[in-house]
């Protein structure tokens, strides 16, 4: 599987609870935090839900 790097670029303050929980599930708990994940359909679905808060780069 391909890998992707996900970086949180915008604040979670004032966002709905499901979006905050999605960021937590991705492992993003602070601004400018970066995680590397496998590009599975589950991960891509979570990224799609918070795409306005994160930046994604293929590795």
Task: Summarize the confidence of residues 29-40 as an average pLDDT.
Answer: 97
Task: State percent of the chain over pLDDT 90.
Answer: 98
**pLDDT value of position 1:** 80
DSSP the chain: --EEEEEE-S--TT--HHHHHHHHHHT--STT-EEEEE--HHHHHHHHHTTTTEEEEE-
Task: State percent of the chain over pLDDT 70.
Answer: 100
Give the predicted TM-score (pTM) of the model.
0.93
Residue-range domains of the chain with CATH: 3-58 (3.30.1390.20)
């Amino acid at each position: 599987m391909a890998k992707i790097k996900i970086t949180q670029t915008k604040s979670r303050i004032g966002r709905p609870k499901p979006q905050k929980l999605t960021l937590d599930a991705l492992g993003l708990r602070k601004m400018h935090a970066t995680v590397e994940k496998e590009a599975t359909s589950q991960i891509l679905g979570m990224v799609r839900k918070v795409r306005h808060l994160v930046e994604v780069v293929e590795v």
